[in-house]
Amino acid sequence: MSSAAPAVGPALDRALAVLAGRPLVALTGAGVSTDSGIPDYRGPNSPSRTPMTYDEFRSGEPARRRYWARSHVGWARMRRARPNAGHRALAELERTGVLRGVITQNVDGLHRAAGSRAVIDLHGRIADVVCLDCRQVTSRDALQERLAALNPGFAADARTETAPDGDAAVEDTAGFRIAACAACGGVLKPDVVFFGENVPPDRVARTYALVDELAPDAGGGALLVAGSSLTVMSGLRFVRHAHRGGIPVVIVNRGPTRGDTLATLHVDGGCSQVLPVLAAAVGGTLGAAG
């Protein structure tokens, strides 16, 4: 076994035995992006964060001003993030035909930047903005230019941490000017699923269908969970679905997860260290096993 992940030896060996020769689907969370400089919400040593809820965002202009001011600072940093070894390992598994798709709870777009193509962005993408009135979708970069013009020099020297959704801990947001939809003057919102908001039903249905392709009577695959504590039902439900369907579940995550009792095994380690080892070991085994 490679020395790339020395701390997880026996568990990693068992994971390789479970995954080898099977088609895979990956379910990823914030932990897969931490080594790209995007912190997670619930990993070891993560600071306490309270993300904005959908109801709060809709409550009025003060809440939206606070959100967009903090996002304006956070986006300038988040857009500079680049894929890490974990993202690239999953893209390589897709290239070899072993990985059938990535279901990501992340909004950072780094899977696609790494080369993954079969991606379900469960919670949307922070790079897109939607108007809540006319539903037009535009780019976050275009909005960033408008916000910069409306708020020259705002928080230019702020030295705050950025959350997984691009939010930055900027305290003084009272004078920030928000932008309306350029098409209809309506309310703009990042095209992501906020806490308290439902994932679009068609997206949920596509995700269940992808997991179902792993069922023993369909292909005999496995679900690989990477970098998610599975704390929220949005991701946990697919692990439960796989477990009920007799689909093996392997979790790679630093620290315990809410899905551990449903998993075949849990590899306690970082995605950037473990996923390249898995990719190298199982990337060529599907055809050989058949």
151 annotated as ligand-binding: no
273 is in an annotated binding site: no
DSSP secondary structure, the chain, as one string: --TTSGGGHHHHHHHHHHHTTS-EEEEE-GGGSGGGT---SSSTTPPP--PPBHHHHHT-HHHHHHHHHHHHHHHHHHTT----HHHHHHHHHHHTT-EEEEEE---S-HHHHHT--SEEETTEEEEEEEETTT--EEEHHHHHHHHHHHSTTTTTT---PBPTTS-B-----TTPPP---TTTS--EEEEE--BTSPPPHHHHHHHHHHHHTTSTTTT--EEEEES----SHHHHHHHHHHHHTT--EEEE-SS--TTGGGSSEEE-S-HHHHHHHHHHHHTTHHHHH-
112: annotated binding-site residue?
A: no
Is 184 labeled as ligand-binding? yes
Give bridge partners of residue 130 from the DSSP assignment. 137, 189
139 is in an annotated binding site: no
Ligand-binding annotation for 228, yes or no, is yes
Residue 253 labeled ligand binder: yes
106 is in an annotated binding site: yes
Q: Decide if 241 is catalytic.
A: no
Catalytic residue among 123, 241, 243, 266: 123
Tokens in use for 217?
């009577």
Annotated binding residue 136: no
254 is in an annotated binding site: yes
Residues tagged in the binding site annotation for Zn(2+):
131, 134, 181, 184
Catalytic residue IDs: 123
Annotated binding residues? 105-108, 131, 134, 181, 184, 227-229, 253-255, 271
Going by the annotation, the residues of the binding site for NAD(+) are 105-108, 227-229, 253-255, 271
